[in-house]
Structure 1
Amino acid sequence: MPKPPIIWTNVLIFSITFLIAAIAVPYYAITVGFSWLEITATIVCLGYCGMSITAGYHRLWAHKTYEAHPVLQWFFAIGGAFALQNSALHWSSDHRVHHKFVDQNDKDPYSAQRGFWYSHIGWMLREYQSQRYSDYSNVRDLQNNPIVMWQHKHYLALTIATNFGIPLFLGFLSDSYIGMLLSVGVLRLVLSHHFTFFINSLAHIWGSQPYTDQNSARDNGVLAFLTYGEGYHNFHHIFEYDYRNGIRWWQFDPTKWLIKSCSWLGLTRNLKICPEDRIIKAKALMQLKRAQAKAMLLPDAEQLLQRMEHEYALLLERMQAYYEVQKQLMQQRKELLQQRKAQLLQQYSDFDIRKNYAEMKHNWQQQQQQWQNFIQQYA
């Protein structure tokens, strides 16, 4: 089978920017040097691009794990164009196909089963998905989003404006056009690209599988640090509707922290979370599978397997009983809070009535006294 045609635009962009970042940036750093302002601007812009992809493209639009205020959506739409990773509509469409057909070489757009190079960048260098470039039937919900469609329509202009305009504007402020173009323009873009690409490649090759082995996705704390929390990929592939990737407080997931913080400001709402019992059950099942595999190698395998299955069934039974009671207690607490709220409202209402009664009584007594004084003048 002949290979699909090369997408020369992508090849040139990836090649030229990488060569500049690998050669020109170090040369400039040695001969001229980057100021702290240039370094800081690069880090900030890198974070802006990365979080626009993770919190915007990925968790907001591709998976709808929460809802966002239009202001935040505009912020992500501009940052996504700055990241130069296609429009939010196209990115989300590809990503939903990836989740639906993960590891299926003929359907997964960036299947890790086809190797590191293909899943990392190779899938974008040839027209492997040419038939899908205009097929957005799996993102009809996003086609009803005016911000997403505005970005999709003006994507090319936005990428040019942000990738040249922002570095040049910062260069004007710092009087260092070349330094800003190299650091904020090129180095930031290359790092942003490959940090995101690591999720398609390394996150399906390197790491642990604590929640599921039904696909190649892995959890990796190192990748989480480079990808703003996206490295907890094994959890994500089984609980994709959860707005979190790192579910424990100590797991590095700044995307989760951003979404949660914005909820306190009214910029995000309806944050979706997977029930804890489902997470525990998935993890226990994986532990059972691994224990069973080891037990098969021991002399008393049959007895051990029976005991494991018994302990696992007992765990699920007691867990289910615990969470049922917890749900009942939470429901009772909710009802008590509603009753208390109703009582407070009633007390407040009664207070208003009593206050109104006292005021009317006082006004009546004053008017009565005034009337008496008035009448006495003519008695």
Structure 2
Amino acid sequence: MKKAPILWLNVAVFSITFAIAAIGVPWYGLTVGLSAGLWWAALGLFCYAGLSITAGYHRLWSHRTYDAHWSVRLLFALGGALALQNSALHWSSDHREHHKHVDHDDNDPYSASRGFWYSHIGWMLREHQEDSYNDYANVKDLQRDPIVMWQHKHYLALTLGMNFGVPLLIGLLMGNVIGALLLCGFLRLVIGHHTTFFINSLAHIWGTRPYTERNSARDNGVLAFVTFGEGYHNFHHIFSGDYRNGIRWYQFDPTKWLIRGMSYVGLASKLKRASEYQIEKARLDMMWRRLQEHRETSAERLQHEYEDLLKQAKAYYQSKKALLDARTQVFKDQVEHSSLAARYRELKTEFRQERRRWRRMVRAAL
């Protein structure tokens, strides 16, 4: 098959930003130095951009799990431009296709079944879906949001302003423009990119599946920690209409906490939650399915053990018969009789041990 054409702009952006973050930042830090204030500013921008993707692009616009005040939507639109992951309209269109066709190579934009590299970043380096964005038919609802369409129309200008203008301003305020561009611009951007990309790649190959095995999505607390709660991906793929990803109080999901906090002050409303019964039913169904699989595996293992036990029994009773036959032969050599007796006692012990082990296994399996 002919390969899709390379998107040279994307290749250049990912390559150049990564090279500067991996080489330029350490070099500058060692030779000139980077202040603690710049590190805190970079962390703040990382959190702002990340939450704009998770609470804005993902849970607000892609899945419509809640409604947000126009001021919140504006902040998320600007933060999404800072994250440099395309416009909210484009991002949501991709993501809805992903949920609709998850793991199907021909339709899922970043199908995990094509491998880690493809789902992580490879799908953005070639024009795999060249005809997918003619009219954005799957995000007609978002086209009625003036803030979404404003960001989409002016995305390039907003991206340049947020990724160069904001770090430049921080650098002027802190007296280190180059350090701010390196740390708050390039390093923050690269880390933000790849932590988000991990949800498309690692979250489909590393973790547990407590709610469904109909797709490759996994729950992973480690990924949740670096992606503002998005790591509970198995839950999300079966209950995508829930504003939460981590539903337990102890699960790290700052995006959920942000949305709930905004609802307390009137900035978010109509928070959607999946039915508790449906959530519990999904968990119990998975437990039952795994129990059945375990029982099938146990039954197969018990069958093998049973066949081995029959072999032991056959050898034992043959030995016992041979010993009895030998005893009836008065003129049989005494040495041969002693050897048969020793073999008989050995097989008797082994057989009884194997029979006890078999009985324990059967009781455990029932």
If the length of structure 2 is used for normalisation, what is the TM-score?
Answer: 0.81
Structure 1 counterpart of 2:214: 214
1:135 partner letter: D
Q: How far did 1:76 drift?
A: 0.0
Matched, 1:95 2:105: no
Structure 1 counterpart of 2:231: 231
Matched, 1:150 2:150: yes
Structure 2 counterpart of 1:267: 267
Q: How far did 1:33 drift?
A: 1.9
Count of residues paired in the alignment: 302
Q: How far did 1:135 drift?
A: 3.3
User: Larger Cα Rg: Structure 1 or Structure 2?
Assistant: 2
1:214 partner letter: R
Q: How far did 1:29 drift?
A: 1.5
1:261 partner letter: G
- Identity %, equivalent residues: 64
Structure 2 counterpart of 1:179: 179
If the length of structure 1 is used for normalisation, what is the TM-score?
Answer: 0.79
Secondary structure of the structure 1 residue equivalent to 2:6: coil
- Superposition map of 1:39-188 within 5 A: 39-188=39-188
Secondary structure of the structure 1 residue equivalent to 2:212: coil
Secondary structure of the structure 1 residue equivalent to 2:56: helix
Q: How far did 1:106 drift?
A: 0.4
Secondary structure of the structure 1 residue equivalent to 2:213: coil
Structure 2 counterpart of 1:258: 258
Query: Aligned equivalents of 2:22 and 2:145: distance in 1?
Result: 39
Secondary structure of the structure 1 residue equivalent to 2:140: helix
Q: How far did 1:30 drift?
A: 1.5
Query: Aligned equivalents of 1:227 and 1:206: distance in 2?
Result: 15
Query: Aligned equivalents of 1:121 and 1:257: distance in 2?
Result: 29
Deviations 1:29-55 (A, max 9, x none): 212221111000000000000000000
Query: Aligned equivalents of 1:12 and 1:298: distance in 2?
Result: 54
2:13 partner letter: I
Query: Aligned equivalents of 2:203 and 2:134: distance in 1?
Result: 28
Deviations 1:146-194 (A, max 9, x none): 0000000000000011100000000010010011000001000001100
Query: Aligned equivalents of 2:33 and 2:209: distance in 1?
Result: 43
Structure 2 counterpart of 1:196: 196
Query: Aligned equivalents of 1:22 and 1:65: distance in 2?
Result: 37
Query: Aligned equivalents of 1:153 and 1:27: distance in 2?
Result: 37
Where structure 1 has 5 or more consecutive residues not aligned to the other structure, the ranges are 302-379
Deviations 1:46-102 (A, max 9, x none): 000000000000000000000000000000000000100000000000000000000
Query: Aligned equivalents of 1:24 and 1:38: distance in 2?
Result: 15
Query: Aligned equivalents of 2:168 and 2:240: distance in 1?
Result: 38
Query: Aligned equivalents of 2:178 and 2:133: distance in 1?
Result: 36
Q: How far did 1:133 drift?
A: 2.7
Q: How far did 1:220 drift?
A: 0.2
Secondary structure of the structure 2 residue equivalent to 1:12: helix
Q: How far did 1:275 drift?
A: 1.3
Q: Where in structure 1 do 4 or more consecutive aligned residues deviate above 4 Å?
A: none
1:157 partner letter: A
Which region of structure 1 is more displaced relative to structure 2, 126-135 or 233-242? 126-135
Structure 1 counterpart of 2:329: none
Query: Aligned equivalents of 1:189 and 1:297: distance in 2?
Result: 48
Structure 2 counterpart of 1:370: none
Matched, 1:13 2:13: yes
Deviations 1:288-347 (A, max 9, x none): 11111110123499xxxxxxxxxxxxxxxxxxxxxxxxxxxxxxxxxxxxxxxxxxxxxx
Matched, 1:244 2:244: yes
Query: Aligned equivalents of 1:297 and 1:164: distance in 2?
Result: 58
Q: How far did 1:235 drift?
A: 0.1
2:87 partner letter: S
Where structure 2 has 5 or more consecutive residues not aligned to the other structure, the ranges are 303-366
1:274 partner letter: A
